Amino acid sequence: MNYLNKTPLCLKIVLLLLFCNTAIFAQKADSLKKTEPLHASANIQITNNGVSLFPNLMLGKPATIFNLTVGKKHIFFEPELRWRLNGEPWSYIFWLRYRSKRTEHFSWHAGAHPSYVLRSTSVSINGKTENRWVSQRYFAGEFVPVWHQSSKFSLGLHLLASKGLDPYAIKKSSYVSLQPRFPNIGISKNYYLGFFPQVFHLTLDDKKGYYYSHMISINKKKMPVYLSSIFTYKLNSTIAGDNVVWNVALNVKL
């Protein structure tokens, strides 16, 4: 006679429930192992001079810049929102990026964004001149391969192309930059420098030029607040703009 036929009904129910619970918890454990966590970080910067690698997008006044990164696995949404210190808008950039899985010595990412540069402009409305905020719209794409020698040095190539979407915007622009990166230069037990120089070629419609730029940051380990500075020097260019542009900024990592 079958042994299960001799088992009381209540015991059969208990055994069945135990089996179902075990299967459910096992599935949950497997799903948790496969679920990719959501990554989020932010940086708030206050600077004495809102600068840009594109001279036509330069603010030239004190500014606040908010960078946000949200994503999982390989896809990240990375908006960069910029305002004047008085709260007036400067520019909004909405990056969507794909970041590859890094190997021992190589990684890359590709991205695209719409962006909006806002300016206060005098316009004529019904025969009257008024100041209104006017937006220049752009769409851009980038590709950035990076070779990693160690945690203290890597070399990147940044390729970016942009298209203006309004009649009064720059129609076509391109940016090609060679970027050595020194993210962790130890200067003491608790402090280190980040040094990010670059030489780049820029075109804005029929204008073009060569530039040198670098960003330096002074960091303290386990401290979310740090100082940074950008310096850009025009090497040879037909693009209008100052020969030297620089700023100093206070940053807070969130």
DSSP code of residue 15:
H
- pTM, full prediction: 0.82
- Model confidence band, residue 28 (pLDDT cutoffs 50, 70, 90): low
For residue 228, tell me if it sits in a domain: yes
DSSP code of residue 57:
G
Q: What is the pLDDT of residue 34?
A: 62
For residue 2, tell me if it sits in a domain: no
Are the beta carbons of 45 and 64 closer than 8 angstroms? yes
- Tell me: do 208 and 91 sit in the same domain: yes
- Tell me: do 122 and 240 sit in the same domain: yes
- Tell me: do 130 and 166 sit in the same domain: yes
For residue 55, tell me if it sits in a domain: yes
For residue 1, tell me if it sits in a domain: no
Half-sphere exposure of 115 (CA within 13 A, CB side): 26
What is the mean predicted confidence (pLDDT) over 193-211?
97
What is the mean predicted confidence (pLDDT) over 120-147?
87
- Tell me: do 209 and 239 sit in the same domain: yes
Q: What is the pLDDT of residue 2?
A: 45
> b/e for 9-47, b at 16 or more Cβ within 10 A?
eeeeeeeeeeeeeeeeeeeeeeeeeeeeeeeeeebebeb
CATH number of domain containing 122: 2.40.160.40
- Tell me: do 187 and 76 sit in the same domain: yes
- What confidence tens digit (pLDDT) does each residue in 143-166 have? 999 999 999 999 999 999 999 999
Q: What is the pLDDT of residue 134?
A: 87
- What confidence tens digit (pLDDT) does each residue in 79-99 have? 999 999 999 999 999 999 999
- Tell me: do 13 and 98 sit in the same domain: no
State both tokens at 34. Answer: 């496969």
Diameter of the chain measured on Cα atoms: 102
Please count the structural domains in the chain: 2
- Tell me: do 182 and 161 sit in the same domain: yes
Domain that holds residue 169: 38-253
Q: What is the pLDDT of residue 247?
A: 96
Separation of alpha carbons 69 and 52, rounded Å: 20
For residue 59, tell me if it sits in a domain: yes
Picking from 7-16, 49-58, 127-136, 206-215, which range would have the lowest pLDDT averaged per residue? Answer: 7-16
Question: Phi then psi for 17, rounded to 5 degrees?
Answer: -65, -40
What is the mean predicted confidence (pLDDT) over 116-136?
83
Separation of alpha carbons 230 and 195, rounded Å: 10
